[in-house]
Structure 1
């Protein structure tokens, strides 16, 4: 049994999303395609969706947040 399951207070957390540009750059690297092709990929995505990779990226993550919980 995992120790965190017996902990009396369980914490709420959410993962921060990664930007679309980072995902595509890593995909190009894994496919052994030069990083200079990111601009061409960005243009092709913009033509299909009307959004650039930067437009599809999440806003800046919040440094801290207070989430009310009932105990």
Structure 2
């Protein structure tokens, strides 16, 4: 998994030059999993992209926090 995430980051960096990333995996319905197979989110983040990035992946897409 580390190699897959590293490759995803490399490809994203070549095209978009983000300042950081959130890496997310939801395991089980209680954790918010809605797609019932393994998948990992590699989310590029940019300085100033959120008022307070301390929430991590919560509310990563503005105005979409309540799915």
TM-score by length of 2: 0.30
Higher strand fraction (1 or 2): 2
Which has the greater radius of gyration? Answer: 1
Which protein is richer in helix relative to its size? Answer: 1
